Amino acid sequence: MRYKFIALLAIHFCFLFTGANAVTVYECVDEEGNSTFQDRCPPGTLPANEKNIATGSKKKSTDDEVKPDVATTLYVMSDCEACDIVHGLLLQYGANFSEVNVGTDVELQIQLKEKINAEGSLTLPTTIIGEEVIIGYDRQKLITTLESIGYNVSDNGDAENQ
């Protein structure tokens, strides 16, 4: 029994000193049902889900690191694989973004169509980064836009290799 305790303690210290290569992301839901994904839920929202996401980065972030201040919104619907991929890419680049699920809300769909001047059907995911509208999953355009405003992926280049 004593050896098991020592072994567990040793394993715990190994993980403690190797540095965590993951980030915890919370899905925060406001009173209107809109979801955002952040490192902690702001006032007026409730945590709906929590997920640990591997960053692959061995570099620790510093408080001195300044993130670009460009409004970024990801419009998605449930069970959308392309939406999940874009979401993951935004997280890899450390982008500050809000996520709006328009899947079952016709009014939100109409608002999005008006915002992006779309006629006819609506394609998801739709990502708006500043004034740039990216419809569907266009990996290269997403990466180019994110990097042009100052976001960078971790040192190991995971975003380029997916």
37-76 pLDDT per residue, tens: 777 777 787 877 777 665 554 444 444 456 678 899 999 9
pLDDT at 54: 59
Helix (H, G, I), strand (E, B) or coil at 36: strand
Name the residue type at position 151.
Y
pLDDT at 91: 93
Helix (H, G, I), strand (E, B) or coil at 129: strand
Q: Is the pLDDT of residue 21 over 80?
A: no
Question: Which residue from 81, 83, 69 is spatially nearest to 35, judged by alpha carbons?
Answer: 83
Domain count, the chain: 1
Which backbone phi and psi does 46 adopt, to 5 degrees? Answer: -120, 140
Name the pTM for this structure: 0.56
Residue 156 sits at the vertex; the CA angle it makes with 133 and 138, to the nearest 5 degrees, is 20
Name the residue type at position 84.
D
Query: Containing domain of residue 156, as a range?
Result: 2-161
Structure tokens at 6: 């020592």
Strand ranges across the sheet with 72-76:
46-54, 22-29, 35-38, 98-101, 72-76, 126-129, 132-135
Please report, for the domain that includes residue 17, its CATH number: 3.40.30.10
Structure tokens at 36: 């955002």
**Residue 24 DSSP one-character state:** E
Which phi-psi region, left, alpha or beta, contains residue 26 (left: φ > 0; alpha: ψ -120 to 50)?
beta
Q: What is the pLDDT of residues 116-156, one digit of tens each?
A: 887 778 899 999 999 999 999 999 999 999 999 988 875 33
pLDDT at 41: 77
The rounded mean pLDDT for the chain is 76
How many Å apart are CA 74 and CA 36, to the nearest integer?
9
Q: Is the pLDDT of residue 99 over 70?
A: yes
